Amino acid sequence: MGSSPLPVSLQSKFQRRRPQAAAAMSRLRDHQGNFNILRNVIFVLFLLRILRKSFYFLRGHGLIGSVLVLYRSLHKNAYKFFLSLPGVRSQVAKQLVAARKDMEDKLVPSGPGTNHYLHLPKEPWTKEQLHTELESLVAMKRTRWEEGKVSGAVYHGEDFLLDIQSEAMRLFSVANPIHADVFPAVRKMEAEVVAMVLALFNAPESGAGATTSGGTESILMACLSARQKGYTERGITEPEMIIPSTAHAAFHKAASYFKIKLHQVACPAPEYMVDVARVRRLINPNTILLVGSAPNYPHGIVDNIPALSKLAVSYKIPLHVDCCLGSFIMPCLAKAGFPSPWADEGGFDFRQPGVTSISVDTHKYGFAPKGNSCVLYRNRELREYQYFICPEWAGGVYGSPSIAGSRPGALIAGCWASMMAIGEKGYVDAAHKIVSTKLTIENAVKEHPVLKETLSILGRPMVSVVAFESVDPAVSIYDVSDAMSHRGWHLNSLQDPPGVHVAVTLPMTRPGAVDGLIDDLVATIKEEKEKAVERLKAGGPIEKGKGSSAQLYGVAGSIPDKSIVEKIVVAYLDTLYKA
Ligand X SMILES: *Cc1c(COP(=O)(O)O)cnc(C)c1O
Binding site for ligand X (CB under 6 A): 214-216, 219, 248, 250, 293, 296-297, 322, 324-325, 361, 373
Indicate the residue among 215 and 347 with the shorter CB distance to ligand X. Answer: 215
- Dist CA 403 CA 416 (whole Å): 21
- Dist CA 307 CA 302 (whole Å): 12
Q: Which amino acid, 562? A: K
Indicate the residue among 371 and 547 with the shorter CB distance to ligand X. Answer: 371
- Dist CA 347 CA 542 (whole Å): 48
**458: which residues sit within 8 A by CB, 6+ positions away?**
269, 272, 299, 301, 467, 468, 469, 497, 499
- Dist CA 325 CA 151 (whole Å): 13
Indicate the residue among 222 and 276 with the shorter CB distance to ligand X. Answer: 222
Q: How far is the CB of 323 from ligand X (least distance, A)?
A: 8
Indicate the residue among 56 and 367 with the shorter CB distance to ligand X. Answer: 367
- Dist CA 38 CA 488 (whole Å): 71
- Dist CA 224 CA 230 (whole Å): 10
Q: How far is the CB of 349 from ligand X (least distance, A)?
A: 15
Q: How far is the CB of 207 from ligand X (least distance, A)?
A: 21
- Chain centroid to Cα 92, Å, comes to 29
Indicate the residue among 437 and 551 with the shorter CB distance to ligand X. Answer: 437
Indicate the residue among 276 and 294 with the shorter CB distance to ligand X. Answer: 294
Q: How far is the CB of 361 from ligand X (least distance, A)?
A: 5
Q: How far is the CB of 217 from ligand X (least distance, A)?
A: 7
- Dist CA 157 CA 506 (whole Å): 8
Helix (H, G, I), strand (E, B) or coil at 468: strand
Q: How far is the CB of 343 from ligand X (least distance, A)?
A: 20
Within 10 angstroms of residue 50's Cβ, the number of other Cβ atoms is 10
- Nearest residue to ligand X by CB is 215
Which residues pair with residue 569 across a beta bridge?
none
Q: How far is the CB of 508 from ligand X (least distance, A)?
A: 16
Indicate the residue among 325 and 477 with the shorter CB distance to ligand X. Answer: 325
427-439: burial string, b at 16+ Cβ within 10 Å, e else: bbbbbbbbbebbb
Q: Which amino acid, 56? A: Y
Indicate the residue among 505 and 548 with the shorter CB distance to ligand X. Answer: 505
Indicate the residue among 200 and 325 with the shorter CB distance to ligand X. Answer: 325
Q: Which amino acid, 466? A: V
Within 10 angstroms of residue 328's Cβ, the number of other Cβ atoms is 26
Which residues pair with residue 375 across a beta bridge?
210, 359
Within 10 angstroms of residue 483's Cβ, the number of other Cβ atoms is 20
Q: How far is the CB of 179 from ligand X (least distance, A)?
A: 26
Shortest CA distance to 455 belongs to which of 444, 442, 466, 468?
468
Q: How far is the CB of 509 from ligand X (least distance, A)?
A: 19
Angle between helices 477-486 and 513-538 (to 10 degrees): 120
Tell me the torsion sign for CA atoms 170, 172, 173, 174: positive
Q: How far is the CB of 250 from ligand X (least distance, A)?
A: 5
Whether 162 contacts 369, CB under 8 Å: no
Q: How far is the CB of 370 from ligand X (least distance, A)?
A: 8
**Burial (CB count <10 Å: 0-12, 13-18, 19+), residue 295:** buried
Helix (H, G, I), strand (E, B) or coil at 488: coil
Indicate the residue among 359 and 470 with the shorter CB distance to ligand X. Answer: 359
Indicate the residue among 361 and 442 with the shorter CB distance to ligand X. Answer: 361
